[in-house]
């Protein structure tokens, strides 16, 4: 039997294995996510006011969904910007 193929072109050089991010909402057991909590929501939007994707924020799927709703609510009541100037 042939050895298992390693699917890598550049792995010989340097293998990128990012540290496993843990969902902060799961860790803090915060439920539901407060859309009036500006300081917390600020951490999950970019400089331009966009919501960070899950691969960057490290949230779990369910909390990322709840966060998206919270950010959108916060935008409507003018806590967070739709777009930064
Ligand atoms: Zn979570």
How far apart are the CA of 3 and the centre of ligand 1, in A? 38
Residue 8 counted as domain residue: no
Taking alpha carbons only, the member of 48, 28, 54 closest to residue 40 is 28
We report the CATH number of the domain holding residue 51 as 4.10.640.10
Residue 15 counted as domain residue: no
Query: Which residues have a beta carbon within 5 Å of ligand 1, which is an ion?
Result: 23, 25-26, 60, 63
Residue 85 counted as domain residue: no
pLDDT at 37: 92
How far apart are the CA of 54 and the centre of ligand 1, in A? 11
Residue 43 counted as domain residue: yes
Domain of residue 65 covers 24-76
Q: How does pLDDT run across 59-85, given as a tens digit for each residue? A: 999 999 999 999 999 999 999 999 987
Are residues 38 and 74 in contact, defined by beta-carbon separation less than 8 angstroms? yes
Q: How does pLDDT run across 14-38, given as a tens digit for each residue? A: 777 777 788 999 998 877 889 999 9
| Count of structural domains within the chain | 1
């Amino acid at each position: 039997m042939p050895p298992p193929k390693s699917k890598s072109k550049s792995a010989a050089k340097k293998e990128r294995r990012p540290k496993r991010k843990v969902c902060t909402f799961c860790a803090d057991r915060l439920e539901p996510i407060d859309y009036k909590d500006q300081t917390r929501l600020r951490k999950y939007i970019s400089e331009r006011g966009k919501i960070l994707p899950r691969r960057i924020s490290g949230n779990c799927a369910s909390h990322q969904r709840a966060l998206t709703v919270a950010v959108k609510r916060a935008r409507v009541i003018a806590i967070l910007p739709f777009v930064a100037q």
